[in-house]
Structure 1
């Protein structure tokens, strides 16, 4: 190979220097470059501009080199690099640029979690610093779908390298081209509009078992990055000097947030989280830590909150002035015995809303505005009263896990879903005449107004916009209209099934929560059962809004705030009427009955 000279010496002797500078782009690795006269340098490629390639030496200095002065092998390498990194025509400027680096000799990405905003244009640079080839493939959400894509790639066999080990598979969404050792490959794509967890893997043979990560599509962009945890075992009464203790484990945090579930330890352990936090603007930031037992929060290695010692789940806050940009964040925690918990949140300048930085949410501790917060612990909690947004005959249901709903018994509809705290009961504790009580939680989803079922004989026929039954529950229903038949509670959690009739049809509406508010995946599953003589042109109105969009995975996005999926006979119908869009479900009867399932997710 000959003697490897420094990049500066190589430039100075053989290539005119247009100008050196400090390029902020991370060095993608280094390879040996050859001058036409046989001399060599070691450098990494940064970019190609017109007839020059921008190279960077290991010392960080970078500058242009004329393509014509490099060997044929180098020029072929650059041509391939351009092919792997060129922006697609018509893509436009990306909204977000993400860099993921392979860890040399470890078969891992340096970022096991990335977060993107729904529908944004993403430029993802895969910088391969390993001695092996790698790629990055993003798949649809779902357990095992990433491995199915990888296994399909392995079937390519001898054609694998030519096809960059990217197979044709329905679960594959986006994939980079294969990055050579010490090179890079750039993937341009538009993030899915449906929120959720999208796995990514390297699909080269044998790599997917360990080389993987998760792209979280969320409207709440996680400001944390490269978050790791170090686990310690021991018993303490206050936070020890971690440098004097041998750690038992160190790894990336899978969720990308402060999360005790990354360890299975329950008592006598300590954990130190370290990572970076992206500060969106300069100003005073208020951080909060709630823990059982001791905790400490540091920004740029300076203590902001010291909540040390043995204590129950209590909170402590601290303020710090930060400049816009990336800052180092560290959270130290230890658990003595009994219950263990850790919550971390922050409040940005000019905002009164605290944003969780941990996977779990801040415990309410019963601190509702009036102190009469109803809590669902082991079974569903029912609250029948005047609820804002659900009417005078509302039935509120708080489920264990922090998912809640309000049912409108005047219109036989789920009026609202929300997350977190259930409802404050003090307003109606001694009577019903004190007005309407709003939900105590957050992230309210409003159901479509009016009745749920109607016969629609023409696409331009409007949906009934008023009650089809009498307002007074003691009066008989209007002919062909609705009557509410109450609800029954089933199972250990006493989940309510709402029952009513529509004309001669008997209907059961069975909503049930899936997951919990503190988990990363939660939704409502809703089963509707209809029995009676078949009715022609009968529809269920699942949604109404300004925007209803069908994605490529059969998800319906309502005003970019709610995601709906269905299991049913036939297909939902999107129609536009009265300046709004409606999502209608045609009811298909079989043996005098019909049934369909609806899943409702927060966006």
Structure 2
């Protein structure tokens, strides 16, 4: 087993989307505005006819992108005469941008924030080790004066390749901070990608952008600029484009003073008669004004300079200690070990604030800070940059690599609506090709497949642990695990999801070159289930063998709201989520059950082989 040297995410990365790893700042549902895609009115009139509004787009493992009439989807269909870029009417500064996109095979596009900083969109399916030009990467800057072969510089490759196959919808989330300028218009701070997620995987955090990347709208930098979508390279479709603009000025915490008291304060104290062990002025919030790891209380007083009146959400963050908050002389946060965000109305001007932090034990380094957000204000943090202390894990995440084939047992939690289902007999199998999967020994079911890095075992091995691990790449899940094989009295009979009545008996697995073949007994027959990585990292191939199968035994390959037949062997599952490819001669059945479609294959021959492409 290989444990990866963990990266320690900067505090910027922890805060984006209102998320702290410790869970003290809960993730919020996006409340942004949508770009209207009923027509092209959300964009400046393009110079070509390559941009269209349609009802749907399709490019199933194909270089050709086809469309259907309607609205809600923006497509680029360039040719030699029409290949214009598209500019939004919106001009943005700090922004969170979220959208779905679908690439034709071999296609290439890009999104330029403020028309100047490109996030590359590329069909990078199967690529191992993302480079500057691959999907989700920040494209390089360009200067002909640097000399032949040296024109390109800077740029940032994606941390891992989280791309899906062509013809599948992919999801992009970008948190961007615009460059800062002083009153004279001189740049005082570079733009940055605060965080970028591709298909649920963080592939960039806190990346500074020293200037426009290659092919910008203009080479100057500005406080506000349009979104530019590249139109001269290849066919691509977009939908569900949403954004949240952050234009509210940040409040500043000034005139800070502190007093330190020694002792164990497990209840909110009255400090009027207490004597401070030390006191002074401070430039910023910090627990660094004390030299001991525990049994102290810090009281900070200061002024919050608010430029715009409105509703603000605030939260004191103190590692392993009690905290309290007062604003304008009123308590707005209870004396508690785990403070919750509180919303207060702040007037414009100078607002007095008071914070207290009491730490009783020596576990974890002392750390104190204040989180603030509001309408049009991206959450920001004032205080100690002790990200490790705030996560509760001083060593950062505990990551398992798959430099060689690896089999790892743990619990695995599977999303089920707003809840999670725990798979207690999960086996996760990793490969150096960076294509991995989880199998449920208790159901004989494939739980999930993913590409990229292997496992985060922090929940399992940090502190007492809970026995679970989680994938760290781009994951395709298959719902709550259920039996892969079931006997059906008729083609419309209900699928037997539970093992009761199936005579299901796990028989473990055998290993060949550290690749498992799972074995179990079902309906009196011995079943062998082998899963292998496909060449080119395209997905996985599954082979199920049943000895003496019953005549009415079926395998369920997929369950989704929609299953689309592309040809005799290829099927598109769900909302263009993944493909299933059957071998020649297999005759499946697609049936409708309780508002869902199911892809079934009769197991009369005792053998089934199919591939999952994603």
TM range (shorter): 0.3 to 0.5
Q: Which gives a bigger RCO, structure 1 or 2 (Cα 8 Å, sep 6+)?
A: 2
Task: Considering fraction of residues, name the structure with more strand.
Answer: 2
What TM-score, normalized by structure 1, do the two folds share? Answer: 0.43
